[in-house]
A and B are shown apart, each in its own frame.
Chain A
Amino acid sequence: MNIGNDLRSALRGLSSNKLRSALTVLGIFIGVGAVIIVVAYGNGSSQAVQNRIKALGTNTITILNRGRFGRGPATGGTQSQAATITSQDVANISDPNQAPDVLSVSPVLNTNGTASYSGASDSGVSLTGTTPTYLTAEDYQVQAGSSLTTQNVAHHDQVAVIGQTLVSDLFQVGQNPIGAEVYFGSVRFQVIGVLATKASGTGADPNNIALVPYTTAQDLLTGYTNNFTELIVQARSAGAVNAAEQETADILASANQTSVANLPFTIVNEATLLATSASTSSTFTVLLTVIAAVSLLVGGIGIMNIMLVVVTERTREIGIRKAIGAPRRAILGQFLTEAVLLSLIGGLAGVVVGVIGTHFRIAGVKPVPTTGSVVGAFAVTVAVGVFFGFYPASRAAALRPVDALRYE
């Protein structure tokens, strides 16, 4: 028998009991939709993590001096003096003999303040006193003008390289910021460069920033101090990050006469943290996908159940068809077509809803649907229809015409 006839007869069969068909289709529909959405959100969140890792900079760890006494309960208040990060620490960590895995150390002296330029102002700017290596370590690109130089640092120059948020807050469109004199608080700086926009990582806007030589910042903004708020340590390679972290921690521990475990600073290796969270989220994605796929299985069992009912209901029709000469395979084909059609309808509806569902952000995650999940879910649907439709259909095909005709 040709497919066209089978399809017509299957559609007739399904439409004869629309509610039942719709309910049967529900399992497959939910399964396919859920698989597509879950995979899309898993994919989206892992892409977000990748972007955040990229935004973090390249192979860096951050040592934060929060001005705390010690590092929590481990030190138990035994230290009498605030721990500090000093220029000597920077010099030690920069020494390739002491820390062979460290590529560069950028001391950071951070303060927040207000920047102003001819009437325009920006009150939330992060003024970062640092060294030229900071740009590389934090993955900042200079879009226009020039970067900070070691000369700037050595000469305590009042120069700044500013981020895009600050540019748009202070300057009008078309105005060239290079060479402009900008006030941070009451201190005047000359803009020598503009940074390219940087993707947002964790926390504050990385583009609302002004980079100045840390020496200048020490002199004019934070008051003279030998202490840095943080250090950005860049490792030689991605594989050397953990070694560089260890070396840095050792140096700081001996400088503060304590052990690494009791180090009074926070060492943040965010790449490691994010990688951990990425792998956790991918585990959850796999788990949720499996649950969604189980719904496909349950949907398949539902189809099998209904098809067994349909075959029983239509026993007499099967008898008639057999009496007028339908061969086994024609009956098999007819009921298999009906089962596959059921699961296909569910699958198509699931794909539609799944694809629509991936247009909404959930918990800040922008879903990224993959063709693979759509095609895969759909292919599984067909397979489910064939697999679970086969047994009822072959039962129909195996009916003896005499018995089937006599069935009431």
Chain B
Amino acid sequence: MGPDGGWQNDATPVGPLPVRAGPIPTGSSGSPGSSRAVLGARTGGEGPPVIALRHVTRLYRMGDTDVHALAGVSLVIERGEFVAIMGASGSGKSTMMNVIGCLDVPTSGRYWLDGVDVRNLDESALARIRNRKIGFVFQSFNLIPRTTALANVELPLGYAGVNARERRQRALDALDMVGLTDRTGHVPSEMSGGQQQRVAVARAIVTNPSLILADEPTGNLDTRSSEDIMAIFDQLNRAGRTVVLITHEPDIARHTRRVVRLRDGQVVSDERFDRREAVTG
């Protein structure tokens, strides 16, 4: 994990950060230890922000014209936050998700993930970052077909080089956390959409990432399964995890405590709510 702790050295963002008041934290970065329990609490405000975007743009060429999918986005998300990124289709949500998830790199601007500037990382370093710092949950579940729930959840640990025994134990813990202890041997085609998405959530949290990034996680689910999934996200957030949801459904966004709205590749609003009571009550 070479890039760890690079925050102090190469990455002190200065200048206006419109969505965030107060100084940029420069405290020592809490290196996310892999030995931490799956549900290990991360307290908010410690260490660098999980996400810090500054003037991020992403340009696509469509024929002769340039399309600004992101047109200068600046955003800071602290450890332990529960954030919804909302916007109509074409607002830049998906591009935002790709950039935040290190699946795509910004055309310009800078992005620090957990204190690491991802701008100059090569492909293998980005793969490592995705593996250790980000847990993805996709709209279409994206489990590996013909592969058991357990093997699906173990997969990221395998790429991290965790040994077979620990892999299995941690995967079982994660499946237990999403309430699928009795489905570990099932393949995706034998599970309902809600169950598949819960496996995906287990896969996202099994590496104990700094950030859980969910792209329309309930988009393919019925109301009840959606509530189940959102309950799991609530629970994860209460346990101290940073959760970023990308959604266009207000009902889903209502679970979060901060809503960032995008339009035409720019942040148009950033509201914070205290919903802890509402959610838990």
The CA of A322 and the CA of B123, in the complex, are separated in Å by 10
Interface: A1 (CB within 8 A): yes
Contact status A323-B158, CB under 8 Å: no
Residue among A1, A2, A328, A405 facing the most chain B CB atoms (10 A cut-off): A405
The CA of A290 and the CA of B127, in the complex, are separated in Å by 45
Q: Which chain A residues in 180-203 approach chain B with CB under 8 Å?
A: none
Given known A12-B147, A327-B128, contact A405–B142 (CB-CB < 8 A): yes
**Using Cβ atoms and an 8 Å threshold, which residues of chain B touch A320?**
142-144
**Using Cβ atoms and an 8 Å threshold, which residues of chain B touch A327?**
124, 127-128, 159
The CA of A330 and the CA of B160, in the complex, are separated in Å by 11
The CA of A2 and the CA of B160, in the complex, are separated in Å by 11
| A193 → B minimal CB distance (Å) | 77
Number of residues of chain B lying within 8 A (CB) of chain A: 27
Interface: B106 (CB within 8 A): no
The CA of A330 and the CA of B124, in the complex, are separated in Å by 11
Contact status A325-B124, CB under 8 Å: no
Q: Which chain B residues in 187-230 approach chain A with CB under 8 Å?
A: 203, 207
Contact status B127-A322, CB under 8 Å: yes
Contact pick for A402, options B103, B127, B155, B203, CB 8 Å: B103
Contact status A402-B98, CB under 8 Å: yes
Contact status A326-B104, CB under 8 Å: no
The CA of A20 and the CA of B206, in the complex, are separated in Å by 36
Contact status B155-A321, CB under 8 Å: yes
The CA of A303 and the CA of B24, in the complex, are separated in Å by 55
**Using Cβ atoms and an 8 Å threshold, which residues of chain B touch A12?**
146-147
Q: A323-B136, A405-B103 are in contact. List 18 more A-B contacts (CB 8 A).
A: A5-B158, A9-B147, A12-B147, A317-B144, A319-B142, A322-B127, A323-B142, A324-B130, A324-B203, A325-B129, A325-B160, A327-B124, A327-B127, A327-B159, A328-B127, A402-B103, A402-B104, A405-B142
**18 A/B residue pairs, CB under 8 Å, sorted by A:** A1-B159, A12-B147, A16-B146, A317-B144, A317-B145, A321-B144, A321-B155, A321-B159, A323-B130, A323-B136, A324-B155, A324-B156, A326-B127, A328-B124, A401-B130, A402-B103, A405-B103, A405-B138
Which residues of chain B have a CB within 8 Å of any CB of chain A? 98, 101, 103-104, 123-124, 127-132, 136, 138, 142-147, 155-156, 158-160, 203, 207
